[in-house]
Amino acid sequence: MATTEEDRIAREVINRAYRIHSELGPGLLESAYRTVLVYLLIKQGFAVESEVSIPVKFDGMQHGAGYRADVIVNGVVLIELKSVDELGKIHFKQVITYLKLSGLRLGLLINFNCEHLKGNIRRVVNGLPEEQ
């Protein structure tokens, strides 16, 4: 199966997330992890937007900026960062909602406030195959 641009970017993001977690560890605010991740992705040559407004669209109308995505890479991969004790269903649902509202197909949910990053990164899809 061919690798999509979204999958290629997701692998690069995950590699940088592991580096950040390895060097900084858990316990920082989400904003600190976001700042470093954005820096590393830009340094790698990606087009990165941070704190991106996502308007709510309803009944054919756009109703203001309802939400803010933490990071969007190359206009195709949405990244939602957390620094919480445990990822909950609400965090997963938040990413799905952001993907639907933005029209993007792939999101990554990453929780840095953990001992091991493995198991704290979730791939969330909206119109992509589950596994690539």
Residue where the block lists tokens 């091991």: 116
pLDDT computed for residue 132 by the predictor: 43
Residue where the block lists tokens 């709510």: 56
pLDDT computed for residue 57 by the predictor: 79
pLDDT computed for residue 2 by the predictor: 53
Q: Mapping DSSP to helix (H, G, I), strand (E, B) and coil, where does residue 63 land?
A: strand
pLDDT computed for residue 127 by the predictor: 78
Cα-trace Rg, the chain: 14
CATH number attached to the domain at 5-125: 3.40.1350
Give the ranges where the chain is alpha helix by DSSP (H). Answer: 5-24, 30-43, 89-102
Residue spans per domain, the chain: 5-125
Residue where the block lists tokens 């952001």: 98
CA distance 109 to 12: 14
Per this entry, what is the length of the chain? 132
From first to last of the 132 residues of the chain, give the pLDDT tens digit. 457 899 999 999 999 999 999 999 999 999 999 999 999 999 999 999 999 988 887 788 877 766 899 999 999 999 999 999 999 999 999 999 999 989 999 999 999 999 999 999 999 999 765 544
CB 64 within 8 Å of CB 55: yes
CA distance 39 to 87: 25
Burial class (CB in 10 A: 0-12, 13-18, 19+), 79: buried
**Running DSSP on this structure, what letter comes out for residue 47?**
-
